[in-house]
């Protein structure tokens, strides 16, 4: 780039920043803009070139000033685009309205209120929770209220600096194409500096409270399949998120004893003081939980992520320690329990759903129990979409290996609270049979073969990652390590390449949609595929 072109680019970014600052409602964001205007030109250009993209997960980024970060002006623009989409594409959207929840992260309450004010200014009813709620409570109430859409302000299990904006369809399922691109096109037409806001007390803004939480809780006992079994000691952490109080109430509603909680992590705290990365999948994130479990004599340790739509699990080991389960292992335990204990009315048309990168074992388990197993794209939104595409089947379970589980009919999204209730029942049934959860996993392996899962990531820029996978697709290997590739499959919408190495090993590779990396997944029956992922990673170079 020539010096003149660079100077022009910086001047454009400066003008955009000054206009943004004139509209910015928050003093801390204005202070940040002042620093940006007086600081690095590269940082200024990065913040004010383009905008934060709205995709199938909505918006997610660090809280900060400018169109490439999460702030009130970005949220107002997104809300306006969403409302305009609903008014065009959803009959009676204005009367049905938008239901809005939020978590305890920085500015979540402001983002939620601004969304409601944008709705009201555009003549659309807004139903706004008046306190923080778990994502499953918001999603469940979309269908309960008949809303045209739902919005949850959360960054889920992202680092503490982030926040996000998750959008649901009227079904209680997250948006899938083409809705995401249509909403994004409406957002593109909105000037973020001029979005109209109704007063906070506008009559179109309805406040929601305990009644909606209690409606969700009243439905929780329906997930139990062996309600006659009393509970076992359980330890729990909310990981500083918003699920703690609701989970305790859910256990009580389901007739299970109250878990022993990690007190330091039970109350919502958006700064996450005891975990640097509040994700149950991250090494160390469940350390306090496992210590609490050991001290309390628990037989099961469970964790929600900060918005309580995911479930982490740890179990005791014979040597007196604790082991964190992989996402597939949790899925196997839940699936085994659900398939072995059908509820009244569940017949031969039972449906279970999983994702491409999750274990293939669910399909074998389903076949043994006369149920249908369907595989869909990565991301829980596709599980909900698959359920909707098959109304002739009776959905009973869905999961993805990234700790997402759905054990109920609604919402059509992952729910870490009802999954926790059912996992506690799984542990209780095992104990009543004189078994541990490891015994149950061993029994599953004895029946279907021991499935060993492995994952690996190769960091590279997004364009390079996509190109590397495309090269591998165009010229797939005949061998990975010493193993012959016997089948090759390409899943276009997922951008995923699957390599089968005989009947017992499956390798998969795809570029990440949210991070600068390529993700590799391995599954072996009776063999660890980790070394083969190393061999596959070498082929990406």
CA angle 194, 197, 200 (to 5 degrees): 155
Buried b (16+ CB within 10 A) or exposed e, 387-403: beeeeebbbbbbbbbbb
Q: Are 531 and 507 in contact (CB under 8 A)?
A: no
**What's the rounded Cα separation, in Å, for the pair 293 and 304?**
15
Three-state SS string over 248-262 comes to: HHHHHHCCCCCCEEC
> Does residue 289 contact residue 301 with C-beta atoms inside 8 Å?
yes
Give the list of residues 6+ apart from residue 500 with CB closer than 8 angstroms, or none.
485, 486, 487, 488, 489, 506
- 282 CB neighbour count, 10 Å cutoff: 13
* Residue 255: both structure tokens together: 């007739």
364: nearest Cα among 398, 336, 345: 336
Strands 404-406 and 394-400 turn out to be: antiparallel
Beta bridge partners, 411, equal: none
Instruction: Tell me how far apart the alpha carbons of residues 416 and 135 are, in angstroms, rounded to a whole number.
Output: 9
Active site members: 156
**Which CB contacts under 8 angstroms, 24+ apart, belong to 468-471?**
468/511, 468/518, 468/540, 468/541, 469/495, 469/497, 469/509, 469/510, 469/511, 469/518, 469/540
Rounded Cα–Cα distance for residues 150 and 169 (Å): 6
Q: Do 356 and 523 touch, CB atoms closer than 8 A? A: no
Taking the C-alpha atoms of residue 234 and residue 427, their distance in angstroms, rounded to an integer, is 9
How far apart are alpha carbons 50 and 55 in whole angstroms?
15
Phi and psi at residue 515, to the nearest 5°: -135, 160
Do 338 and 397 touch, CB atoms closer than 8 A? Answer: yes
Instruction: Give one word for 521, left, alpha or beta, with left for phi > 0 and alpha for psi -120 to 50.
Output: beta
Alpha helix (H) ranges present in 262-379? 287-296, 327-340, 361-368
**Cα–Cα nearest to 426, from 493, 506, 336, 350:** 336
The count of residues in the chain is 541
Using left for φ > 0, alpha for ψ between -120 and 50, and beta otherwise, residue 97 falls in: left
The span from the CA of 75 to the CA of 72, in Å, is 5
């Amino acid at each position: 780039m020539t010096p003149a072109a660079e100077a022009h680019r910086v001047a454009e970014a400066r003008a955009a920043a000054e206009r943004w600052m004139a509209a910015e409602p928050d003093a801390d964001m204005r202070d940040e803009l002042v620093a940006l205007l007086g600081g690095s030109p590269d940082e200024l250009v990065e913040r004010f070139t383009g905008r934060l993209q709205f995709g199938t997960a909505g918006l997610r980024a660090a809280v900060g000033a400018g169109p490439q970060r999460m702030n009130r002006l970005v949220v107002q623009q997104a809300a306006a685009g969403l409302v305009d989409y609903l008014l065009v594409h959803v009959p009676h959207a204005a009367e049905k309205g938008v239901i809005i929840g939020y978590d305890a992260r920085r500015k979540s309450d402001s983002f939620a209120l601004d969304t409601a004010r944008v709705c009201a200014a555009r003549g659309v009813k807004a139903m706004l929770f008046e306190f923080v709620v778990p994502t499953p409570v918001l999603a469940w109430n979309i269908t309960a209220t008949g809303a045209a859409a739902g919005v949850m302000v959360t960054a889920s299990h992202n680092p503490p600096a982030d926040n996000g904006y998750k959008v649901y369809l009227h079904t209680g399922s997250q948006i899938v194409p083409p809705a995401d691109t249509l909403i994004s096109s409406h957002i593109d037409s909105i000037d973020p500096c001029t979005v109209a806001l109704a007063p906070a007390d506008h009559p179109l803004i309805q406040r929601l409270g305990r009644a909606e939480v209690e409606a969700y809780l009243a439905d929780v006992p329906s997930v139990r399949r062996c309600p006659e079994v009393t509970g076992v000691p359980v330890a729990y952490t909310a990981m500083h998120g918003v699920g703690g109080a609701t989970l305790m109430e859910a256990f009580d509603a389901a007739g299970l004893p109250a878990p022993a909680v990690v007190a330091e992590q039970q109350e919502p705290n958006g700064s996450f003081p005891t975990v640097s990365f509040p994700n149950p999948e991250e090494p160390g994130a469940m350390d306090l939980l496992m210590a609490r479990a050991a001290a309390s004599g628990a037989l099961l340790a469970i964790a929600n992520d900060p918005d309580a739509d995911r479930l982490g699990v740890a179990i005791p080991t014979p040597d007196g320690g604790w082991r964190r389960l992989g996402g597939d292992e949790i899925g196997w335990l839940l699936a085994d329990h659900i398939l072995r204990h059908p509820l009244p009315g569940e017949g031969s048309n039972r449906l279970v759903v999983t994702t491409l990168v999750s274990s293939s074992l669910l399909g074998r388990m389903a076949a043994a129990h006369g149920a249908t197993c369907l595989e869909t794209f990565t991301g829980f939104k596709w599980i909900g979409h698959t359920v909707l595409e098959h109304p002739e089947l009776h959905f009973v379970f869905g999961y993805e290996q990234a700790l997402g589980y759905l054990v109920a009919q609604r919402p059509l999204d992952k729910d870490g609270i009802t999954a926790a209730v059912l996992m506690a029942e799984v542990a209780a049934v095992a104990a009543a049979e004189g078994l541990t959860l490891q015994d149950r996993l061993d029994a599953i392996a004895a029946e279907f073969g021991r499935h060993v899962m492995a994952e690996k990531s190769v960091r590279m820029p997004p364009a390079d990652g996509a190109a590397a996978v495309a090269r591998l697709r165009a010229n797939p290997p005949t061998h990975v390590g010493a193993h012959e590739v016997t089948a090759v499959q390409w899943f276009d919408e997922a951008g995923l390449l699957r390599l089968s190495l005989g009947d017992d090993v499956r390798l998969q590779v795809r570029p990440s949609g949210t991070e600068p990396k390529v993700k590799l997944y391995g599954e072996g029956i009776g063999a660890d595929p980790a070394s083969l992922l190393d061999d596959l990673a070498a082929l990406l170079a």
